[in-house]
Structures are given as structure tokens and as C-alpha cells.
Structure 1
């Protein structure tokens, strides 16, 4: 089980990894590709495990459906006799599911024509419920909307930044807000591991943070050792042109996903979109490490001390501590933006200060005492 916030945070990574790494295997054979469709009037016997840019169920599936895709749609004519588990950029249910439903997506819609005989677990940036659910509903989202046509036979529990429940909606078991609500993650096709219905031991947050601190330090050390001059330019840009770097980072983090989403809407662009998504996630990881290096270098400069290894560890340590501080995520995001922007500007050949030889001199080897030495 994961909390709603953890599940939303994992969504994008699961979608990209699952789409690329998995090999769908239904009882009737594999179902993978740019589009996986069960046409209207068609009956698929057994369980359907589908991986694709788009998964559409317009006919009948006699078993369970497990889907990982950019878009998952069960149309009005679609009928699933078992359970539905899906992870998608956008998940829409318009038809009938005779079992339980578990959906995770950037946007999750249960339309007014939808009928769910079991329970509903949903996690996403936006979740809207307008259909009928016989069992309980559990939602973790940034924004939850329950429309006037919604009918819930059990209870409705939610953890959302904003939530609206129309007065005409019927919830027999009552509506309750629950902080850090645990929502069952979908057991989806094509993922190298299954995150649903997990009941293992709980790992303390400080252990996870410590692990990532060490892992990121190792990766950061490799980055600096392999390309010290480039790392020097990134650090110079991040410390001396922080505002410009942050602006470029913000532009990149908004524009790149939009471009990838537009590519995902076309059959030809689906492979490029998925590959680009993986590449962008890696860039964000590296940019975050560069951002930590920039942060550490700036902090050490306040004490008039320069050392690249201390700067790298200090920056990563501060970011790890911010995980446990209110509004720490905002500060981490700012550091990421600065690191991403400085990384992009350095790729264009810019330096932190045209008059600063310690930043722009590529022919010099590492200098002892310099942050990038």
C-alpha cells in the first residue's frame, strides 16, 4: 500500500518504465503495441494485459484488464467482467466493470455512464467521478470533483488539495477526508515489479533518504570526474546566474512534457515520446545532482571555503534534510530548476562569468581548492 502522495509521485516513473520494459502476456497471447483495441462487438476471452500508447476497450473482456499506456479508455459499450487496473497519462471509464477498479493517471475520469460493481481506488493529478460505484471509493489527488450524477453505495474517502462534492451526488456511506490516505496501487501490465496490494515491512523515511544521498553522491562524483570542466561551467552558471538558470529550467520543465505529450498523440511519435520521456527523466536526475552541487558550492562560499567534494555532499545532504521540512519540496524544486537551467545553458557553451577563468578555461586541469577542482 502507498499513500496517495507517494503513488502520484511514482506515477510518471511507473508509466515510462512499464511501457518500455514490460512484455504484455495475456492468456490468449501478448497484447502490446502503439494501440491495443478490443473493438465494439468483439469478445476477448480471459485476462487482458495490455501495454501501448493507447488502450481501448469497446467490446467485452471476460476476465481482468491490466493496462499501462499513455491513454486508457473503456467506452460506453465496453464491458469488463473482472477487475480493471490501469496506469496511464489519462484514464477514462465510460462503460461497465463487474469487479473492482484501480486507476492511476495524470487525469482520471469516471463518466456518468460508468458502472462499477465493486470498489474504486483512484490516484491522479485530477480525478472526477460522475458514475455509479456499488462499493467504496478511495481517492488520492491534487483535485477531486464529484459530480451530481455520482452514486456511491459505500463510503467516499479522499486525500486531495481541493475537493468538491456536488450536493446532488449520493454517497450512502458518507464522505470523509483522510490525510495521507493509503490507496492501493494498480497491478499493471508491463512493469518490472508489481506495486499493488503490497503488505511488506515499512522502510523508515530516513533510511530511504540516506540511500539516495549515497547513491546520488556516487553518481555526482562520476559526473564531476568524467567531465570536470563542464561541471565547472554548470556550477558557475548556477551560482552567478541563478535567476537566468532558474528561468531556463522552468521553461524546460514546462515545454518538454508538452512536446512529449503532443508526440504521444500520434502513432508515429509514440516511440519518440516514450524514449524522450526516459531521456528527460535521466536529465532531471542529473540536473538535480548538478543543482545540489550548485547549492553546496554557494553555501561553502558563504564561509569562504571551496572544495568540490564537500560542496557536492553538502548540497545533497541539505536536499535530503528538506524531505522532512515543511515546504522543503518547494526549495528542492527551485534547486532542480537552477540545476536544469544551468545544465542547459552549459550545453549551449555559456559560462558563469565571461571574465572568470575558473569557469571558462577548458584547457586547465582540475585546480586544488576550486569547487570544481
Structure 2
């Protein structure tokens, strides 16, 4: 009877464990879907795009495009402006941007038409023979090839600037670098000026900064959800350690942040140690990321607890959203994020150390107790 009861108890325990695992995985998937839906709605409602490839298809018309992506391609019509930071930005033949184009990319190609100004910075710039710019061009690139039409002035800074046979510049050309090709294409004057180049930073900077912050928030929420779902007790212990011993956590975090890279560099002195160092740096970067998530989570958990609210999931969302907003503050944001990293890294390191020591100390006892069975 006792053996039968033990068997039923073990089966019940396994079922409860399986249910908890399913609940955790379901929670992770649900949080992921909710986050994905939250991110997708503003993208479709506005004309801001982030991630993958952003394409305005042939026959499609949009008002403006603000993009941070791998590729940005305009085959249709943009009635306003295009601001893009991407691996490649291309205004395809037949594509039209009626306003201004501001691009920071590895490759910028204009084979269609841009009605306003173009400000571009990248590795390569190409104005194809089918391409045209209605007003001025301001560009900085490794190589710049102009074989299309520019209605106004052109300020180009590049190692090599080539004016093709079909090039046409209606105003003046100011350049820095090696100018080659069809200089008769310039209707106005040609002058060398070492200061020329694009000024895309003020426009693209805030856009890129907030898009990076959005990406970081989404990834942090997903990582935090996984940590809370899979390791709820350990996560609470890390948060408790930050709130009860913040100074000690910060000092331990600072020590770890200094000592670990030094050890990894020392290991890299030998040829055999280089792969170990590379792997170690990757793991350490992952640990630092987890530490930042735990740090914001711990601070929010402490603040909510002071208000009488005990909810780990609410603390995760409040902490990470608040952290994302604070990180955008000039100077102060970076300093606060660094302090949060130290708190989280110290608490996480102490938690891992105590967990490892506890398992090592409990190992022999568990073996001894298991023997008689």
C-alpha cells in the first residue's frame, strides 16, 4: 500500500512539474506575442519601420519613411521625406521620393528620382544614369559615382569622385578627394574644399537612438520573461540581494567587471587560449546583459514593494520600461545604466556563487541518502 502511495505521489509530482513547465513556456510565448503585437501596431500605423528589409513596392504610395533596417528600397512613391539608416538604401529606377532623402548606409544608390535635397553618408554612393536629384546633394562616401542629374549644387567628400558621361550638375561642385571624369558636366564652378561632407547626424541621430532603445527594450523584456519563467526563485533572490545590500552588490559588480576581462586577456596570451578568450568574452557579454535586466528588475521590485505592491512581472515591465526611458537622457542615462549594471552584476555573481556552493555542499548528503533506497 505504501509503495503504491509512493508511486501515485511521484506521478502526481511529475504531473505538477510538467504543468509548471508548460505554464512557463506558455508564459514566455504569450509575452513574446504581446510584445511583437505592441511593436507591430505603431509600425503599421505610422510610417516608421525597423528591422529586416523596408520596401515601398511598385505602385505603392506612402507619406514618409523613417527606417532603421538592413535594406531600404523605394520602388513606388514617397510623397514626403525618406530618412534611413541601413546596410543599403536604394531608390530604384521608377521609384520616386518627392521630398528629401537622408541616408546613412553602406551603399546608397539613386536610380529613380528625388525631388528635394539628398544628404547621404556611406561606403559607396551611386547616382545612376537614370537617377535625378531635384535640388542639392551633400554627400560623404568612400567612393562616389555621379552619372545622373543633380538640379542644384553638389558638395561631395570622398576618396574617389567620378563624374560619368551622363552626369549633369546644374549648380556648383565643391569637393574633397580625387575628382575624375567628365568635369564638363558641371554648369557652375568647381572648387576643392576639405570641409565638405554630409550633415545627417542631427536628423538621423534621434531616430536611430530611439529605434535602438526600442530594440533593446523588446529584447530585454523577452530575456526578463525567460528568466522569470524559468528561474523565479533565483530571480527573486537576486532582486532581494540588490535591495538589502546595494553597496556590497555594487562593489562586487565593479570587481567582476574589472577582474574578468583582465583574466580573459591573460588567457589570450597563449595561442591555445585565444578561442577560450573569445568564447569567454561572448559569455561575459551575455552575463552583463542579464545583469542589466536583473538590475532594473531589482530596483523596480524594491520601489513597488515600498508601495505595497508585490508582483515580479509588473516589476520587470516597470523596471525595463523605466530603464529604457532613463537611458535616453544625456550623460545621466549612461551613468545610471552603468550603476544598474554594477548592482545587477554583483547580485548575480553572488547568487551564482552561493548556488554553486550550496549544490557542492548538498551533493554528498544527497548521495548518502540515496544509497539505502
**TM-score band (shorter)?**
0.3 to 0.5
Q: Which structure: greater helix fraction?
A: 2
TM-score, L = length of structure 2: 0.46
Bigger RCO of structures 1 and 2 (CA < 8 A, at least 6 apart): 1
Larger of the two Rg values belongs to structure: 2
TM-score, L = length of structure 1: 0.46
